[in-house]
Structure 1
Amino acid sequence: MFMKLAAPCLFLLAAMAGPAVAADPLPDAIAAPGESVVLSVHAEGAQVYECKTAADGKLAWAFREPVATLLSEGKTVGRHYAGPNWELADGSAVVGKAIGNAPGATAADIPWLKLEVASRRGSGTLTPVTTVQRINTHGGKLEGSCDKAGDFKSAPYSADYVFLKKS
């Protein structure tokens, strides 16, 4: 009886423990040597796509924006949205610009990213951040054709975001 109850409890505790640690070393394209971790959070949300006319004249899904909740130790600490923006409950926020990427673990996973902070607002935990890494992605890619320009569709995803500062 005890083992039947213990296994689900241990699984739940492991899930709430926080973000997984990235594989060492990270791919060169997203590594940030000489920078130290300010905060690491887990994100759960969706990648939103819009049906648009592609360069070849055919309709195709184009990435529009992320919509995600940022979690630490199982508690909501902020949000991630178009920009890309990361905003914490303490009022600090950063906007990133992608400067490197590496493939996700599977074809269904969005890429891992390295973003430099292009702007910041408020003051708090994210104030000193200079680099953001998106790692341990799961899902988020949208495949298939779209039929009507202007339609929207989302693909669930999760990832870990690591906020770094220059040491």
Structure 2
Amino acid sequence: MPPIRSVIPALVVATLAGAARAELPAAIEAPGLSPVLTVGAAGAQIYECKSGQDGKLAWTFREPVASLMRDGATVGRHYRGPTFEHQDGSAVVIKAVASAPSPDGAIPWLKADAVEKRGAGVLADVVQVQRINTRGGVLQGACETPGAVQGAAYTADYVFLRKAP
């Protein structure tokens, strides 16, 4: 697997080039809500090698680590929580409530509720977030060492939604 740092720039270009809003699966639609902000994200989905319920080792999702971009500039970051933090100081922590398979086998598309907010900026009124247009993020390979951590490069578009006026 190539180092994450070498894969991310290519994925950023692919995400920003294809950032048009895709046809949404019914499971992640958000009726009655309107977009506040749409950003591209590029980073990694971080996994940890852990014993599953069956006692076998398996890669388990731990956290995202990504830059949020708009018009070619970094405007925020996405990290453990999962949290989105905008450069204006506003932030939102989310909890996934629905998912749909990615059309190309990448990490799933998601709909998530905002469960915690801080700051008075662009994310202050966000009530839901959609993750769409995902590429990558699925970890390939065996998990052999408990506690081992590995990242899988990914890109996605995140749509931040508020109640329609």
Deviation at 1:145, TM superposition (A): 1.6
Which residue is equivalent to 1:89? 87
Q: Deviations over 1:26-45 (max 9, x none)?
A: 11110001111100000000
Amino acid of the structure 1 residue aligned with 2:82: P
CA–CA separation in structure 1 for the residues paired with 2:147 and 2:57: 10
- Give the equivalent residue in structure 2 for 1:135: 132
Alignment of 1:10-159 (within 5 A): 20-24=19-23, 26-107=24-105, 109-159=106-156
Answer yes or no: is the 8 Å Cα contact 2:16–2:40 preserved in 1.
no
Q: Cα distance 1:16–1:59, how it changes in 2: closer, same or farther (>3 A)?
A: closer
Q: Deviations over 1:112-144 (max 9, x none)?
A: 000010010111000011010000000001122
The structure having more radius of gyration, on CA atoms, is: 1
CA distance in 1, matches of 2:147, 2:125: 38
Structure 1 runs (4+) greater than 6 angstroms displaced: 14-19
How far apart are the structure 1 equivalents of 2:38 and 2:18? 7
Equivalent-residue separation in structure 2 for 1:70 and 1:130 (angstroms): 18
The SS at the match of 1:149 is coil
* Partner residue, 1:6: none
- Structure 1: where are the runs of 5+ without partners? 1-13
Residue-pair matches, total: 152
Indicate if the aligned counterparts of 1:19 and 1:160 stay in contact, CA closer than 8 A: no
3-state SS of paired residue (2:141):
coil
Check whether the contact 2:48–2:150 (CA below 8 A) recurs between aligned residues. Answer: yes
Q: In the TM superposition, what is the alpha-carbon distance from 1:22 to its structure 2 partner? A: 2.0
Distance 1:79 1:48, change over 3 A: same
Over 3 Å counting, the alpha-carbon distance change for 1:78 and 1:19 in structure 2 is: farther
Give the AA of the match of 2:159. Answer: V
Identity of aligned residues (%): 57
Residue-by-residue CA offset, 1:66-102 (whole Å, 9 max, x unaligned): 0000000000000000111000010000000101000
Q: Indicate conservation of the 8 Å contact 1:19/1:41, yes or no.
A: no
Structure 1 residues 17, 101: CA separation in 2 closer, same or farther (over 3 Å shift)?
Answer: closer
Deviations 1:44-79 (A, max 9, x none): 000000000111111111000000000000000000
Distance 2:14 2:155 in 1: 13
Q: Which runs of 5+ in 2 are unaligned?
A: 1-12
